[in-house]
Chains A and B, each alone.
Chain A
Amino acid sequence: MPVFHAATPQQVQQAVQTALAEKTPLDIIGGGSKRGLGRATAAGHGLDVSALAGIIEHDHDELTLTTRPGTSLGEIEAALASRRQMLAFEPPGWHGVFAAHGAPAATPTIGGSIAANLAGPRRIRAGGPRDHLLGVAAVNGRAEAWRGGGRVVKNVSGYDMPKLQCGAFGTLSVLTELTLRLVPAPATTSTLLIATETLAAACQMMARALNTPQDVSAAACLPAGIAARAGVPRAGQFIVLLRLEGTSPSVIDRAATLRRQFSAFAELDTPESKAVWHDIGAVSPLLANPDAMLWRLCPTPSLAPEILAALTDLSDQVFLDWGGGLIWLAVPAATPDAAAASIRAAIGPHGHATLVRAPAPLRARLPVFQPLAPPLAALNARIRAAFDPAHILNRGRLVPEP
Chain B
Amino acid sequence: MPSLPAANPAIVARRAAIAADLRRLVPEALIITEASERMAYECDALTAHRSAPLLVVLPRTAREVAAILRYCHANAVPLVPRGAGTSLSGGATPMPDALLLGMARFNRIVEIDAENRCATVQPGVTNLSISQAVAHLGLFYAPDPSSQIACTIGGNVAENSGGVHCLKYGLTTNNVLGVELVTIEGEIIRLGGKHHDSPGYDLLGALVGSEGLLGVVTEVIVRLLPTPPLARALLIGFPLVDQAAATVAAIIAAGIIPAGMEMMDKPAIAAAEAFVRAGYPLDVEALLIVELDGCPAEVDHLIDLVAGLATAHGATTCRASASEAERALFWAGRKAAFPAVGRLAPDYLCMDGTIPRRHLPDMLARISAMESRFGLKVANVFHAGDGNLHPLIMFDANIPTEIDRAEAFGAEILRQCVAMGGALSGEHGIGLEKRDLMPHMFTDTDLDQQMRLKCAFDPQALLNPGKVFPTPCRCAELGRLHSHHGALPFPDLPRF
Complex Cα–Cα for A151 and B170 (A): 16
**In the complex, given contacts A4-B495, A350-B193, what are 15 additional A-B residue pairs having Cβ atoms less than 8 angstroms apart?**
A21-B484, A60-B253, A61-B252, A84-B255, A152-B423, A156-B425, A161-B206, A161-B449, A163-B173, A257-B295, A301-B115, A352-B197, A375-B183, A383-B456, A389-B479
> Does A166 count as interface, using CB distance less than 8 angstroms?
yes
> How many A residues touch B, CB cutoff 8 Å?
102
Question: Once the chains bind, are B443 and A163 in contact (CB under 8 Å)?
Answer: no
Complex Cα–Cα for A62 and B245 (A): 12
A213: which B residues are within 8 A, CB to CB? 138, 226-229, 294-295
Complex Cα–Cα for A387 and B424 (A): 24
Residue of A nearest to B226 (CB): A213
Question: Once the chains bind, are B205 and A387 in contact (CB under 8 Å)?
Answer: no
B496: which A residues are within 8 A, CB to CB? 2-3, 5
Question: Once the chains bind, are B206 and A163 in contact (CB under 8 Å)?
Answer: yes
Q: A146-B449, A158-B468, A379-B456 are in contact. Are A298 and B438 (CB under 8 A)?
A: no
| Partner-contacting stretch, out of A242-250, A279-287, A330-338 | A242-250
The dominant DSSP class at the B interface is: loop
Q: Mark A359-389, 1 if CB is under 8 A from B, else 0.
A: 0000000000111110111011011111101
Complex Cα–Cα for A349 and B494 (A): 47
> Does A96 count as interface, using CB distance less than 8 angstroms?
no
Question: Once the chains bind, are A144 and B173 in contact (CB under 8 Å)?
Answer: no
Complex Cα–Cα for A185 and B254 (A): 11
Complex Cα–Cα for A299 and B166 (A): 27
Q: Which B positions have Cβ atoms within 8 angstroms of A? A: 113-117, 137-139, 159-160, 162, 166, 170-171, 173-174, 183, 187, 189-191, 193-203, 205-206, 208-210, 226-229, 249, 252-253, 255-257, 294-298, 301-302, 354-358, 383, 386-388, 421-430, 434, 438, 441-443, 445-450, 452-457, 468, 479, 481, 483-484, 486-490, 493-496
Task: Report 24 cross-chain contacts, Cβ distance below 8 Å, ordered by A residue.
Answer: A4-B495, A45-B495, A62-B387, A124-B196, A146-B446, A152-B386, A152-B387, A152-B421, A152-B422, A154-B166, A154-B387, A184-B256, A185-B255, A211-B115, A211-B138, A250-B298, A301-B194, A302-B113, A325-B195, A350-B194, A372-B200, A382-B457, A383-B456, A385-B456
Question: Once the chains bind, are B422 and A161 in contact (CB under 8 Å)?
Answer: no
Question: Once the chains bind, are B202 and A249 in contact (CB under 8 Å)?
Answer: no
A215: which B residues are within 8 A, CB to CB? 226, 228, 294-295
Complex Cα–Cα for A80 and B430 (A): 34
A290: which B residues are within 8 A, CB to CB? none
Question: Once the chains bind, are A15 and B226 in contact (CB under 8 Å)?
Answer: no
B354: which A residues are within 8 A, CB to CB? 150, 152-155
A256 CB to nearest chain B CB (Å): 9
Question: Once the chains bind, are B159 and A21 in contact (CB under 8 Å)?
Answer: no
B472 CB to nearest chain A CB (Å): 15
> Does A278 count as interface, using CB distance less than 8 angstroms?
no
Q: Which A positions have Cβ atoms within 8 angstroms of B? A: 2-5, 11, 14-15, 17-18, 20-22, 45, 59-63, 84, 117, 123-124, 127-128, 130-131, 140, 142, 144-148, 150-161, 163-164, 166-168, 172, 183-185, 187, 207, 210-215, 246-247, 249-250, 252-254, 257, 298-302, 322, 325-326, 349-352, 354, 369-373, 375-377, 379-380, 382-387, 389-390, 398
